[in-house]
Structures are given as C-alpha cells and as structure tokens.
Amino acid sequence: MPRIAQAFARARAENRAAFVAYLCAGDPDFDTSLAACRALLASGVDLLELGVPFSDPLADGLTNQLAAQRALESGMTAARVFELARRIREFSGAPIVFYTYYNLVFANGVAAYVRAAKSAGVDGILTLDLPPEEADEVTAAGGAHGVDTVFIIAPTTPDARIARIAAATTGFLYYVSREGVTGVRDQVAGNIPEAMARIRAHTQLPVAVGFGIGTRAQVTQVAAHADGVVVGSALVNCVRDHLADRAQIAPALALRAADLSAGVKRA
C-alpha cells in the first residue's frame, strides 16, 4: 500500500483524522528547514507537505509568500528541494507531498521532474494551478513512476466537476475550505460537513481540508468530518517568529505541532 494510503488508513483505524503539516522547503535556510521537518514528524505529523519555493505563488497568502521568498534568497533550487526530501527520507517513513506550481514541473520536463521526485522519496505531487483537464502528462508520469496525484476542490466546484477531479486523483483530495489564498483565519468555514458529503458522493479517496486552520480547536472541528486536516500558515508563522534565533525554530514547531495534532482525535 502506498505511504499516503497507509497514513490515512492508520488514522482511520485509530478513529482520528490524519494531521497534515505544511512547511516551505528551505525556509529560512536548508539546515534549519531540515531540522524543522524532523521536529514536525516527531510531533504527531502524519503527512508532510513540502512547499516548493516559487517566485509567483498565486494561491498563497502573505505568510507563505514571504516563506518562499526567504527560501529562494537562501539559495533553494529544484535540486535542493529534492535533496531536502532525500534527507528527510533518511529518518522518516512518513509520506511527503510536494505542494508546487505547474511552471516548476513543466520547466524541468514533466516526466523528468516526477521521476526525480520519486527518486528523492516523494510520494505525491499537488500542483496548485494545474486543472485535471490539462493534467494528462502529470497523471501519466505519476502512474508510471508511482507518485500519487493530489488535486484541489473548492467550495465553488460544481458536482459534475468534483467527479472529474476525483477521477484524476490517486492520493487524496484537498478541499480548500475557503475562497481566496492561504492564511490563518479566526473561524473555520461553516460548510465543511455539507462539502464532505458532496465530495464523498463521487469518491472513496480520503479528503483533507485546509486553508484557514490554525488552532487545536479548529483542527478538532474539521477532524470531526474530514479524513485529514492541513495546517500550514500557523506553522510557517512559527518559523517567522523565531528568525532572530533560528535554533529555536525546530523546538517551537515541535510544541505547536504537538498541540495541533492532539486535536485530530474524534470523540
């Protein structure tokens, strides 16, 4: 069974949602990023989403935009992102998903990029700005090299298109709970139970919910309905808040992840 499927199956068997954590690869530098990933994976994270730093991250709010900028300024490249994944794989068997944009995949050659991701130990690719109708090359490469595809469903996605998106997905479906970009919000979107029912009418794949989730209470609220809960900006903010003393980034993330991951348990 692929690692992504294993992670969701294990969470389901333990009557909880999977905890999915996002960090931008290389933020604020390679070694600190590696230590940060290690800290998260030791603190209740089931699946690690590695953001591939990009100069024009259209789906991301200011928090993640600045993280990408810090990573790029520190010298992160596609090759260094692959190296980071390889280094993580040395100490963790948790699934790794690249959170990326199609330009980065296309510019390197789709088949070559997916093959390199697989070689580095990556389990899935979520290409934010690639609709499934235009993703045949990516899905074919994923199938050929054993890399799962992850696609996004939005609150505005009609039922007919949910079926199309689900058909192109092999890992899990990522439900964006809010319109707009990434970022912590005061409240969780109120339509999650209805959205989960709509999506599950078309697929048996796991559904993870992200965008705007940043507290343990919010994690618990989403975990009651979703197969996975994605937290990104709240963790990236831990990186930002400790830039003056980078040795404190990993310990701060460990504490925050342990608190957040405690929320995935269901009553």
Q: Where is average pLDDT lowest: 35-39, 89-93, 101-105, 190-194? A: 190-194
Give pLDDT, residue 183: 46
pLDDT of 91 > 50? The answer is yes
pLDDT of 88 > 80? The answer is yes
Burial 117-136 (b: 16+ CB within 10 A, else e): bbebbbbbbbbbebebeebe
pLDDT tens column, 110-125: 999 999 999 999 999 9
Give pLDDT, residue 78: 93
Share of the chain above pLDDT 70, in %: 95
**Tokens 């790029």 belong to which residue?**
72
Q: How far apart are CA 181 and CA 142, in angstroms?
A: 26
Average pLDDT, the chain: 94
Give pLDDT, residue 127: 96
Looking at residues 72-88, what average pLDDT do you find? Answer: 97
The verdict on whether 49 is a catalytic residue reads yes
**Tokens 């609150």 belong to which residue?**
155
pLDDT tens column, 144-196: 999 999 999 999 999 999 999 999 999 999 999 865 445 455 556 568 999 99
**Tokens 């100490």 belong to which residue?**
91
pLDDT of 60 > 90? The answer is no
Given 14, 27, 46, 49, which residue is catalytic? 49
Helix 249-261, helix 216-223: angle, nearest 10:
40
Give pLDDT, residue 46: 98
Contact status, residue 81 vs residue 25, Cβ threshold 8 Å: yes
Give pLDDT, residue 178: 62
Give pLDDT, residue 59: 76
Dihedral of the alpha carbons of 74, 75, 76, 78, in degrees to the nearest 10 = 170
Token representation of residue 179: 């319109």
pLDDT band with cut points at 50, 70 and 90 for residue 100:
very high
What values do phi and psi take at 202, rounded to 5? -115, -5
Is the peptide bond between 28 and the residue preceding it cis, with omega within 30 degrees of 0? yes
What values do phi and psi take at 173, rounded to 5? -95, 135
Of 42, 47, 60, nearest to 228 by C-alpha is 47
Q: How far apart are CA 36 and CA 23, in angstroms?
A: 8
User: What global pTM score does this model have?
Assistant: 0.94
Looking at residues 133-138, what average pLDDT do you find? Answer: 97
The verdict on whether 60 is a catalytic residue reads yes
Give pLDDT, residue 258: 97
Contact status, residue 243 vs residue 28, Cβ threshold 8 Å: yes
Token representation of residue 43: 């603190």
pLDDT of 23 > 90? The answer is yes
pLDDT of 71 > 80? The answer is yes
- The full set of domains in the chain, from first to last, is 3-264 (3.20.20.70)
Given 27, 46, 60, 123, which residue is catalytic? 60
Q: State which amino acid sits at residue 174.
A: Y
Give pLDDT, residue 181: 47
Give pLDDT, residue 186: 56
Q: How far apart are CA 107 and CA 207, in angstroms?
A: 29
Angle at 24 between CA 23 and CA 27, to 5 degrees: 110
The DSSP bridge partners found for residue 98 are 50, 125
